[in-house]
Structure 1
Amino acid sequence: MKRRTFLRNLGFQAAALTFGAGLAIGAEKKKPNFVFFITDDISPHDLGFYGNQHVKTPNLDRAAKQSLVFDNAYLTISSCSPSRCSIITGRYPHNTGAPELHTPLPKQQHTFMQEFHNAGYYTALAGKNHMGRKESLGFDLVVDSRPSGSEKWMDVLKGRPKDKPFFMWFASHDAHRAWQINDKAPKYEREDVNIPPMMYDGPAARGNLAGYYHEVSRTDHYAGKVLEELKRQGELENTYFIYTADNGRPFIRCKNYMYDSGIKTPLLIKGPGVKQGRTDSLVSSVDYAATFLELAGLKKPETVQGVSFARTLSNHQHQSRDVAFAERNWHVYKLHERMVRTGDWLYIWNAYPGEYNVCGESASYGFDDVKEFWKAAEEGKLTVNQMKVTKKEQPEEQLFNVREDPHQFCDRSKDPACKEIMNKMRSLLDRWKKQTGDSVPKNPTPDRGTLHHNGKMGKRGDFPGAANNATEINHPGPIKL
């Protein structure tokens, strides 16, 4: 080869290498964005893409066709603020130091949002906070609005720094009582609703479900607006859009309970590399932090107890965990329950079996549908399964096959054929409690009022896990069997 030809080829190769390096640097700088849309008090089966034909969610239904929809996503607790604190830390509620309703996250707790912030992401919380001060959470911006909490989202998206990747924690107040109807979603009539089988079919229940449906549809309205704005900005294809909830629907035997109607959450994820479809893979909200960090190419802190299910986004058969755990702590009333889900089985252990097992949405006469329910109980109008909520004596243990019994009405804990699975569930729960430092408070927070009437908040008692310094424990408990 002539010297001139050699030098020319060498120059072409050098140019190609320089161009490739430039692309690599550019690709490295192009971090994915995140929009985490967390709704308030919505169960999966109140959405169109989970099969509800009564609630209108056209934007989410369209998005679902380009997303992965999770059919076995579980929360760590079915209670507003402790659920959010668990998500943002990637820790179980008793490990966060904020395990009860309306307790702020201690400032020494580490959040995954701080990791994003430190990595150069622009971080914003718009809507419902319910976790603590923005300085300790890792947000550059915190704003709120009413009635839905979503009204300022477009302004936040448009006003963000354009030279940074972003993580938007968009938290709606929808669909939380009391209902506030406006022109952003359809107005439903009482005859439009479908009564879940754990609820009494009365005019008050139907009226409240109609208001709830409106707010569920309003989350769909703002989901459409967010996706539209991301597309307008040219960021849609590089953004992970996540739609989920903090707990189940705010009705009897749903919100704050360990049954699927309370502890199961909708989860839709759309974004780079996500393969469209549905998955039965078991995931937990304690895993969100680890998953988001991996998708962003960031290291998971040792404080995060969850595991990443990022692989499941492209391989729907991938199982990041075999077992999920959840807890139920003080929520207006003194409560302490623990849940284990694995395979087709769901197990619940109750530390206070001799007492009412209720929350405000199941007992407070401040809600007209609740008063209607208890009056129907007095008049003998409830079904056998509906009546179980009203009993003071509650079982210490319950076991359900969720595939055969989707509403968890048939307790199999005393079934001789289930002896082996009962022993397995007890063993898993014992390991989880020991490894994560869980404990039953010796001096629990007392009820805020009587069974049917709320009173003033008294002095808080001991938190679960406090006796074992659970806030200092990072062990994840059992994950794989």
Structure 2
Amino acid sequence: MADPNDRRNIVLIIADDLGLTLNCYGVKSIQTPNLDRLAAEGTQFTHAFASTASCSGSRSTIYTGLHTHQNGMYGLHHGLHHFQTHAHVATMPSLFKDRGYQTGIIGKVHVGPRDVYSWEVYEESATRDVRWNAERAGAFFDDAAAADKPFHLTVGYRDPHRDDTRGGFGNDDPDVLGAGFDIPHYGPDDVEVPSYLSDLPVVRQELAEYYTSVSRMDLGVGLLLDELKRRDLDKTTLVMFVSDNGAPFLNSKTTLYDAGVRLPLIVRRPHATPGVINPNMVSFVDILPTCLDWAGDTLATSNVTAPSEKPSPPLKGHSFLPVLECADILGADRWQQHVFGSHTFHEVQNYWPTRFLRTRQYKYHRNIAWRLDFPFGTDLYGSLSWEAIRNSEQPIMIGGRPLAKYLFRGPEELFDLQNDPDELHNIVDDPAVQEQLAEFRGLVERWQFESDDAWLMRDGVSVLTSLRMQRQGLELVDRFDFDHDNPGTQSDKLYKTPAGIEKEAPKAG
């Protein structure tokens, strides 16, 4: 029998709709002692970014190491929406099962299909009874020990997602009311209203309910960590804590503003330096390569296999284990200090594709369908907080953003986050930043081309799907959108694909 102390186990914990609303991330009005302790024992990243601000899409990037436009999970998986990951894509559970790990997921899943996300232990549940998550995790650990296997377990909490009411966060759910949880409850005067929201009584009331849901999730994390410690598995287990997207309020969830995609990432590696505050920029597509690296897998930064004849795309991220304990910002020779993001749908009717580049100072948004209104997710539209905001005094403001600027955005946005952290003032037309704008535009378009992004558009058509015709003489005018007033192709500004990238033309239909 192999020595259990030589195993490299992994527990991945995913909160649902949690932004940076944790005490250890500076929100001192909320009590999250278990996550605060996990951060004190490990590394807390200050600049960790999801690729997208929608539940299924974000989880898929964590599980595949690919952006949503690559893995096919363009929007929500459940119900009417039915977005699914491509059959040829390798996933975290399939990769670790192939490497001899016992794999499992407990709680919220929210991705599919099941044969692509092939966890061996599959205990999907929408319960908010966080003791159940911990009990089932304990049983999973015991089963892995009996099978003499290392393990990779994902625990997905339903908290602090909204419930099915217009202003609730599960605090009145039957599985919560009868549980007798010892967690704090908050009132409207106890909360801090984030700058991206308007300070109204109803907003404060919803935030108070949200805080309670966050504290319940934090209790669940503590119970889960206790199950590890009780079995001495804390000495052999890499623990990661993340959220899938920002808080379920306007200006956050479903948007690619920082409130929607700059999220908690806490990592505890056994025997590592505790209490590290890591300022380096990481992306959630880095999580799968990091897990593979921890397992000693050389495939962490190369091609991976998948259960189909078509090869899975190369992982887009990189293992951050080599820089995990860095408390200083590293140079580009050691770590890339920018991240990309990709959002296309939330619900199936919420089509608003955007790609973004985030550097340490700037955020560049390429809004592909900018002629459409920015859509409301149904849970946000139906919320009491939005009802209060829309019926407040004119002019209607959502935090510091006028309602019109929330709904109507140009084809490009550029924000100087050092001077404008809430991304309120689009400086895309400022003559002083045209050099940076051109650089960022080029970086995003090259990334889109390299990653087979069908939403790389020129003259209103996809560059990738029209590539075969371009090689037969089709010329695309070098502009984002089709111009019905000037439809001709007689122009000295014709699109050229990025230099140095050889690419097979995909089938267009």
Report the TM range for the smaller structure's normalisation.
Answer: 0.7 to 0.9
Note the 1:427-438 alignment, pairs <5 A: 427-438=442-453
**Alignment partner, residue 43 of structure 2:** 68
Distance 1:121 1:417 in 2: 53
How far 1:273 sits from its partner (Å)? 4.6
In structure 2, what is the equivalent of residue 395 of structure 1? 410
Matched, 1:216 2:191: no
Partner AA of 1:429 in structure 2: V
- The offset of 1:467, in angstroms, is 7.2
Q: Tell me if structure 2 keeps the 8 A contact 1:247–1:255.
A: yes
Specify whether residues 206 and 465 from structure 1 end up closer, same or farther in structure 2 by C-alpha distance, changes over 3 A only.
farther
Change beyond 3 A, Cα 1:390–1:151: farther
SS of residue paired to 1:280? strand
| Distance in structure 1 (CA, Å) of the matches to 2:320 and 2:373 | 37
The one-letter amino acid of 2:28's match is Q
Distance in 2 separating the partners of 1:468 and 1:105: 24
CA distance in 1, matches of 2:87, 2:399: 46
d(CA) in 1 for partners of 2:195, 2:398 = 9
Secondary structure of the corresponding residue to residue 263 of structure 2: coil
Task: Select 2:9's aligned residue among 33, 38, 49.
Answer: 33
CA contact (8 A) 2:200 2:388 kept: yes
Q: Which amino acid aligns with 2:438?
A: N
Q: CA deviation at 1:440?
A: 2.9
1:352 Cα deviation from its structure 2 partner: 2.5
Report the counterpart of residue 496 of structure 2 in structure 1. Answer: none
What is the rounded CA distance, in whole Å, between the counterparts of 1:189 and 1:281 in structure 2? 35
> 2:482 matched to which residue of 1?
none
Deviation at 1:80, TM superposition (A): 0.6
Return closer, same or farther for 1:150/1:199 CA change in 2, 3 Å cut-off: same
8 Å CA contact retained: 1:37, 1:243: yes
Paired position in structure 1 for 2:374: 357
- Indicate if the aligned counterparts of 1:40 and 1:245 stay in contact, CA closer than 8 A: yes
| Structure-to-structure mapping, 1:450-469, within 5 angstroms | none
Query: Aligned in 2, Cα 1:247/1:151: closer, same or farther, shift over 3 Å?
Result: same
Output the CA distance in 1 between the equivalents of 2:260 and 2:207: 16
CA 1:326–1:137 in structure 2 vs 1: closer, same or farther (change >3 Å)?
same
Tell me which residue corresponds to 1:474. Answer: none
Match of 1:440 in 2: 455
**Which residue is 2:288 aligned to?**
289
Q: Is the aligned partner of 1:347 residue 2:364? A: yes
Specify the alignment match of 1:174 in structure 2: 159
Q: Distance in 2 between matches of 1:239 and 1:246?
A: 22
1:307 deviates by 1.2
State whether structure 2 residue 131 is matched by structure 1 residue 120. Answer: no
Deviations 1:39-87 (Å, cap 9, x if unpaired)?
Answer: 111112x101100011110111122111111111111111110111111
CA distance in 1, matches of 2:466, 2:197: 38
Mapping of residues 87-236 of structure 1, within 5 Å: 87-102=62-77, 103-148=83-128, 150-160=130-140, 161=143, 162=145, 163-178=148-163, 179-181=169-171, 182=176, 183-184=180-181, 185-236=183-234
- The alpha carbon displacement at 1:291 in A equals 0.6
> CA separation of 1:149/1:402 partners in 2, compared to 1, >3 Å: closer, same or farther?
farther
Q: Which residue of 2 aligns with 1:382?
A: 397
Which residue type is aligned with residue 343 of structure 1? R
Contact 1:255 1:361 in 2 (8 A): no
- Give the alignment partner of residue 235 of structure 2, picking from 231, 234, 237: 237
| 1:246 matched to 2:236 | no
Is the partner of 1:265 in helix, strand or coil?
Answer: strand
- How many aligned positions are there? 424
Deviation at 1:422, TM superposition (A): 0.9
Larger displacement relative to structure 2 (327-336 or 68-77)? 327-336
Give the Å deviation of 1:314. Answer: 3.3
> Is the aligned partner of 1:407 residue 2:397?
no
Give how far 1:147 is off. Answer: 3.2
Closer/same/farther in 2, CA of residues 72 and 142 from structure 1, 3 Å limit? same
Q: Which whole-Å CA distance do the structure 2 matches of 1:338 and 1:158 have between them?
A: 40
| Deviation string, structure 1 residues 247-274 (Cα, Å, up to 9, x no partner) | 1101011001111100111000002253
Measured against aligned partners, the alpha-carbon deviations of 1:1-40 in whole angstroms (never above 9, x if no partner) come to xxxxxxxxxxxxxxxxxxxxx9xx848x722111100111
Task: Give distance in 2, aligned partners of 1:125 and 1:257.
Answer: 27
- 1:47 paired to 2:22: yes
- Counterpart of 2:505 in structure 1 is none
Aligned-residue CA RMSD (Å) = 2.7
Residues 1:306 and 2:281 aligned together: no
**C-alpha contact 2:389 2:398 (8 A) present in aligned 1:** no
| Greater displacement, 314-323 / 289-298 | 314-323
Paired AA for residue 126 in structure 1:
I
Shift, 1:167, TM fit: 1.0
The answer (yes or no) to whether the contact 1:251–1:361 under 8 Å persists in 2 is: no
1:324 aligns with 2:304: no
Distance 1:316 1:273 in 2: 17
Does the 8 Å CA contact 1:274/1:313 hold for their aligned counterparts?
A: no
Identity over aligned pairs, percent: 27
Counterpart of 1:43 in structure 2: which amino acid?
Answer: G
| Alignment TM-score, normalising by the size of structure 2 | 0.78
Partner SS, residue 107 of structure 1: coil
Counterpart selection for 1:272 from 260, 270, 273: 270
CA–CA distance in 1 between the matches of 2:362 and 2:66? 23
Provide TM-score, normalisation by structure 1. 0.82
- Preserved CA contact (<8 Å) 1:99 1:464: no
Give the deviation of 1:407 after TM superposition: 1.6
Does the C-alpha gap of structure 1 residues 149 and 409 become closer, same or farther in structure 2, counting only changes over 3 Å?
farther
Amino acid at match of 1:417: A
Contact 2:278 2:325 in 1 (8 A): no
Higher alpha-carbon Rg: 1
